[in-house]
A and B are shown apart, each in its own frame.
Chain A
Amino acid sequence: MIFREVEDRDLILQTRKGKVEAYNLLISRWEKRIYNYVLRLVRNREDALDLTQDVFMKAYQNMNKLDDVERFGPWLFRIAHNETFSLLRRHRPDRVELNEAIAEDPGSSPFESGGGRLLPLELSVAVTAALTRLKPEQRETVMLKVFEGFKFEEIAEILETPVSTIKSRLYTAFDLLKDVLAPAGKQLGKTV
């Protein structure tokens, strides 16, 4: 008997045959990534959870349209992107709930107030605040590249945007983040 890890492709094929249990297992593998991706875009937990559920519902209903089961990740993120921006277009962009205290003043550096060493949690909050200063499309590109580890081509596929535009967005965003995070970088050197 040969044991092997059940791969996403197996679960996708089972899902296509109507096996809901297989799809639930697939969800458990991807829900945290999708939820956090959406959360960083909408910055509202309730909306993020609703959107995540919508994403998985839509993916289930369209599973037969997935041409290449090996490309499930980019395909799922593309659905998440479309659902999220559909919501953002319907709603206003000024609904800030997450880290709102830091994000409210875009002129100040997120590292100026404390002065002392930053703990990992504080650093997480500070970096999240720095991300909120980016334009939504820049932030999304950074998330897909740095947090999700997609290749340029995959990001271009998810966002339906040319690779050259993706690189431009990412590089600009990274330069901005580099400048904003520079003070924290010095403290990080002391902390770590």
Chain B
Amino acid sequence: MSDIDLKAYLFGELAEEERRRVAAQLEKDPALRAEYARLEQTQAMLGFVQDEELPRRIAFVSDKVFEPSWWQRFLASGPQLGFASAALLALAMVGHGWLSRPVAPAMQAAKFDEAVVRQVVAAEVSQRMNDVLRQVSDVPNSDVKTAQLIAVAMKQAEKRAELDRAADRLTIEENFNLLRRLISRDQVASYQRPAGER
């Protein structure tokens, strides 16, 4: 009887073969059966212990303090972490490609000096004035009317030149702004790169 684990049999903890062996022993041995009956009775009595209801239910409200933060949820998710790593790598590759691309010719125009542009415009205006004066001097019988026409033509030329200068100034300002943005972006990119790559 000593090698029979009746309690393990009672609690259903025996393997199938061992369980059959104990069952066969119980069939044969009345004393063992009586002992087993007492154990069963004890277990049955323990079943009379009643559970109590909780005085009040437990429930949590959705409170940001107790919720896992976004990075805790993120770190807990393997697939999300992998996807984010891949996305970050792709972004880094695109960024590197963008920063190291050849500068477009249109943007090189931004390097023109304003003084040079003014010089070009003044030369153009001067040339047009000379053309007008040449045409006027070619007229054999110049009179007051002709002189007035010349004056009007000169004013128109000056106005056109002024408009051209204004347009050129705008173009130059735009180019300078573009140039400033490019320089700023390069600076930011150089700060973000590891020290060895700068």
Q: Tell me if B45 and A123 are in contact (CB < 8 A).
A: yes
Task: Name 17 A/B residue pairs within 8 A (Cβ), A-sorted.
Answer: A16-B76, A20-B62, A20-B67, A21-B62, A24-B59, A32-B54, A35-B54, A49-B55, A64-B68, A64-B76, A127-B46, A127-B49, A142-B46, A167-B8, A174-B7, A188-B44, A188-B45
Q: Tell me if A27 and B59 are in contact (CB < 8 A).
A: yes
Assess whether B72 is interfacial by the CB under 8 Å rule: yes
Find the B residue at minimum CB distance from A188. Answer: B45
Please encode chain A, from 1 to 30, with 1 for each CB lying within 8 Å of some chain B CB and 0 for all others. Answer: 000000000000000111011011001100
Assess whether A61 is interfacial by the CB under 8 Å rule: yes
Classify the secondary structure of A's interface with B.
Answer: helix
- For B52, give its contact among A39, A61, A142 (CB under 8 Å): A39
- For B38, give its contact among A23, A123, A167, A185 (CB under 8 Å): A185
How many residues of chain A are within 8 Å of chain B by beta carbon?
48
Q: Tell me if B52 and A124 are in contact (CB < 8 A).
A: no
Give B52 Cβ to nearest chain A Cβ, in Å: 6
User: What is the total of A-B residue contacts with beta carbons within 8 Å?
Assistant: 100
Assess whether B192 is interfacial by the CB under 8 Å rule: no
- For B68, give its contact among A18, A121, A128, A177 (CB under 8 Å): A18
Q: Tell me if A127 and B60 are in contact (CB < 8 A).
A: no
Q: Given A20-B62, A20-B67, A124-B49, A151 and B13 touching (CB < 8 A)?
A: yes
Q: Tell me if B49 and A178 are in contact (CB < 8 A).
A: no
Q: Tell me if A20 and B68 are in contact (CB < 8 A).
A: no
Assess whether A42 is interfacial by the CB under 8 Å rule: no
Q: Known contacts A60-B66, A152-B11, A188-B41; can you find 4 more A-B pairs with CB under 8 A?
A: A24-B60, A45-B55, A181-B42, A185-B45
Q: Tell me if B46 and A147 are in contact (CB < 8 A).
A: yes
Assess whether A53 is interfacial by the CB under 8 Å rule: yes
Q: Could you tell me which A residues sit within 8 Å of B by CB distance?
A: 16-18, 20-21, 23-24, 27-28, 31-33, 35-36, 39, 45, 49, 52-53, 56-57, 60-61, 64, 120-121, 123-124, 127-128, 131, 142, 145-147, 151-152, 167, 170-171, 174, 177-178, 181-182, 184-185, 188
Q: Could you tell me which B residues sit within 8 Å of A by CB distance?
A: 7-8, 11, 13, 38-39, 41-63, 66-68, 72-73, 76
Q: Tell me if A31 and B58 are in contact (CB < 8 A).
A: yes
Q: Tell me if B51 and A32 are in contact (CB < 8 A).
A: yes
Q: Tell me if A184 and B45 are in contact (CB < 8 A).
A: yes
Residues of B within 8 A of A181 (CB): 41-42, 45
Residues of A within 8 A of B41 (CB): 181, 185, 188
Give A71 Cβ to nearest chain B Cβ, in Å: 18
Q: In the assembly, what is the distance between CA of A186 and CA of B39, in Å?
A: 13
Residues of B within 8 A of A152 (CB): 11, 13
Q: Given A35-B54, A124-B49, A16 and B38 touching (CB < 8 A)?
A: no
Q: Tell me if B52 and A170 are in contact (CB < 8 A).
A: no
Q: Tell me if B44 and A52 are in contact (CB < 8 A).
A: no
Find the B residue at minimum CB distance from A153. Answer: B13
Find the B residue at minimum CB distance from A21. Answer: B62
